Amino acid sequence: MGSLKKFLTLLLVVLMAQQVFTAITNDQQCKNKGGTCKNPKNCSGTVLSNLCPGGNDNKCCVPKTTKMKINQKGLDLIKSFESLKLTAYKPTANDVWTIGYGHTKGVRQGMTITKAQAEQYLKEDVAGAENAVNKYQSKYKFTSNQFSALVSFAYNIGSIDQLTAKGTRTIAQIRAKIPEYNKQKGKVLAGLTRRRQAELKLFDTK
């Protein structure tokens, strides 16, 4: 009887440990989705099942996110550095063919566009840059000026994945890294240096 009691006690300890491990694991799965485990009645966002321990009274709640848009300061910054060109050109010898406000997709030598087309390209390209920054908005909660500065950065570079180290850097570290992106093929360019400084100034504007 003594041995059986010890066995049952040990079995109970193992089962409890498994439950704790499962709870921790499930809670982490919810966190990986950007949510927290809570009563679904108190969730104003999206409720996800099977990611939290505790049955129907404890589910993963992912808050609703509103996509941010670039502000006028950020848009003016992009326009000032890209400048409007209605005929295809290469900004530097190492660049690809460019037109409008820095638009490159589908551009070929000799191509011409109207100002209305340039504005449409700008709208489309800015939307892509906004998406690149909104990808990290739920983590960093960027202010309007920080967000807009980074949209300008993404418009020029393509994304902020490397700048943020895929979301592992702090905002202070991101800020410190912005000026470093002023080179093309290892050579410092005055225009990129000025742009990074302008973006940094907007990033710091309260």
State pLDDT tens for residues 46-55. Answer: 888 777 887 7
Per mean pLDDT, which range of 26-35, 36-45, 180-189 is the poorest?
26-35
pLDDT confidence of residue 132: 97
Domain final position from 16, 43, 62: 62
- How many structural domains are present in the chain? 2
In a shared domain, residues 46 and 76:
no
More confident residue, 27 or 174: 174
In a shared domain, residues 77 and 168:
yes
Per mean pLDDT, which range of 30-44, 152-166, 169-183, 192-206 is the poorest?
30-44
Q: Is the dihedral of CA 95, 201, 139, 44 positive or negative?
A: negative
Domain final position from 62, 86, 113: 62
For residue 185, being part of any structural domain is answered with yes
**Dist. CA 202–CA 199, nearest whole Å:** 5
Q: Band the pLDDT of 32: cuts 50, 70, 90.
A: low
In the numeric block, which tokens belong to residue 171? 């905002």
Residue 150's alpha-carbon distances to 74, 104, 157, 160, in angstroms, are 9, 19, 10, 7
**Dist. CA 43–CA 13, nearest whole Å:** 34
In a shared domain, residues 78 and 132:
yes
Identify whether the C-beta of residue 100 lies closer than 8 Å to the C-beta of residue 117. Answer: yes
Active site residue 82: yes
In a shared domain, residues 26 and 45:
yes
In a shared domain, residues 131 and 43:
no
pLDDT confidence of residue 4: 67
In the numeric block, which tokens belong to residue 48? 């996800």
Domain that holds residue 164: 72-204
For residue 67, being part of any structural domain is answered with no
For residue 156, being part of any structural domain is answered with yes
In a shared domain, residues 106 and 38:
no
In a shared domain, residues 79 and 109:
yes
More confident residue, 11 or 146: 146
Find all residues with CB under 8 Å of 167, minimum gap 6, and list them: 136, 139, 140
**Dist. CA 99–CA 77, nearest whole Å:** 17
pLDDT confidence of residue 138: 93
Three-state DSSP class for residue 152: helix
pLDDT confidence of residue 18: 59
In the numeric block, which tokens belong to residue 32? 């990986």
Three-state DSSP class for residue 38: strand
In a shared domain, residues 51 and 82:
no
Q: What is the CATH number of the domain that holds 146?
A: 1.10.530.40
State yes or no: pLDDT of 140 exceeds 90: yes
Find all residues with CB under 8 Å of 73, minimum gap 6, and list them: 145, 148, 202, 205
Q: Band the pLDDT of 16: cuts 50, 70, 90.
A: low
Residue 184's alpha-carbon distances to 99, 102, 113, 187, 189, in angstroms, are 19, 16, 27, 5, 7
Amino acid letter, residue 205: T
State yes or no: pLDDT of 62 exceeds 90: no
For residue 92, being part of any structural domain is answered with yes
Of the residues 82, 119, 180, 199, only one is catalytic, namely: 82
For residue 17, being part of any structural domain is answered with yes
In a shared domain, residues 81 and 153:
yes
- Percent of the chain scored above 70 by pLDDT? 86
Quick one: average pLDDT of 32-39?
Answer: 77
In the numeric block, which tokens belong to residue 190? 């005055």
In a shared domain, residues 97 and 127:
yes
State yes or no: pLDDT of 35 exceeds 70: yes
pLDDT confidence of residue 193: 98
Find all residues with CB under 8 Å of 40, minimum gap 6, and list them: 47, 56, 57, 59, 61
In a shared domain, residues 77 and 12:
no
pTM: 0.69
For residue 159, being part of any structural domain is answered with yes
